[in-house]
Amino acid sequence: MPARFHLCLTIAALALLPLPAPVRADDGVLQCTHGDDGQHATFRAYDAGRASLSGRIGGTSFNCPVAIEDRRICGPGCHIPPNFRLYGRLDPADCNVSGPQRDAWNPDWLTREPTVHVSATAQHLYWMSSGRSPCTVFRIEPGFARAHGVENGIAEQVPVDLAVYAGLYPHDPVAGVRLLDHPLFRAAWEDMPHDAELRGHLLDGSSPWQPVRREGQLLILEGCQAHACIAHDWTLRVDARGGHMDACRHDARSTPVATHHYRSGTPPRQDAAGCGPE
């Protein structure tokens, strides 16, 4: 009888504890993506103890489980602006590595202690063996932000549907995030074969772009080389929900005239036609 009474008290006490808000495992409570230089990394925290570090270095993709070992929190009562850090630990042997350069992948590029620093003014990711990187895309679940006292002043939620960029230029931000930096866009871009020249023009802020057009569920991005638009232009089509992309790069300067076509899941092809509708 005493044991049963103790068990009932234990269950009653647990019932009084606040239940954590449901969180989708694919989104997590926090995301920081750095991807300004052709390679990128994303840190996602799923709960108080679990996180992941994934991304792409050169031609190699990686996805590593991360254990959150410590949280250092300075909330509204601190003498400095609200901020916190999540300290993680990963074992490169647990990373899932894929891509054409898998055998050349060097796990020493990654730090064994990935860390995210969130404050009211900036967010940074420590993911390489040295230095820190700004979060080019930052997302935090509102309840998680409130629990850490940083709900004011942090970056807004990143859009989950790329259709919000229709009518804007690719470099125009929505909630602080450019279409070219959006994780759905970048994932589709990395999944599609392309060449170094097309990548260079995508990352080059001086290349002229037309406003983003929407055709059904597709977003159309059209650009060209500065001072050579007639001879050298390109078109990208991306699903507004993410998932796939195709691209065309037309180069009338070459002999013979070449048009390069790229599509997710298929090898590149080349012909002499322009970049018209597929």
Domain with 124, as residue range(s), is 30-147
36 lies in the same domain as 140: yes
139 lies in the same domain as 169: no
141 lies in the same domain as 46: yes
pLDDT tens-digit readout, 47-96: 889 999 998 877 788 899 999 998 887 765 665 556 788 999 999 889 99
DSSP letter string, the chain? -HHHHHHHHHHHHHHHSPPPPP--TTT-SEEEEE-SSS-EEEEEE-SSSEEEEEEEETTEEEEEEEEEEEEEEE-TTSSS-SEEEEEEE--GGG-EEESTTGGG--GGGEEEEEEEEEESS-EEEEEESSS-EE-SEEEE-HHHHHHTT--SSSPPPPPS-GGGGTTS-TT-EETTEEGGG-HHHHHHHHHS---HHHHHHHH-TTS-BPPPEEETTEEEEEEE-TT-TTTEEEEEEEETTSS-EEEEEEETTSSS-EEEEEETTEEEEEESS-S---
How many domains are contained in the chain?
2
Task: Specify the pLDDT at position 9.
Answer: 27
| pTM exceeds cut of 0.75 | no
Residue that finishes a domain, picked among 97, 112, 147: 147
- Whether residue 156 is contained in a domain is answered as no
- Whether residue 10 is contained in a domain is answered as no
Which residues in the chain come in under a pLDDT of 70?
1-27, 36-38, 75-82, 101, 120-121, 149-160, 175-176, 205, 255, 276-278
112 lies in the same domain as 36: yes
189 lies in the same domain as 83: no
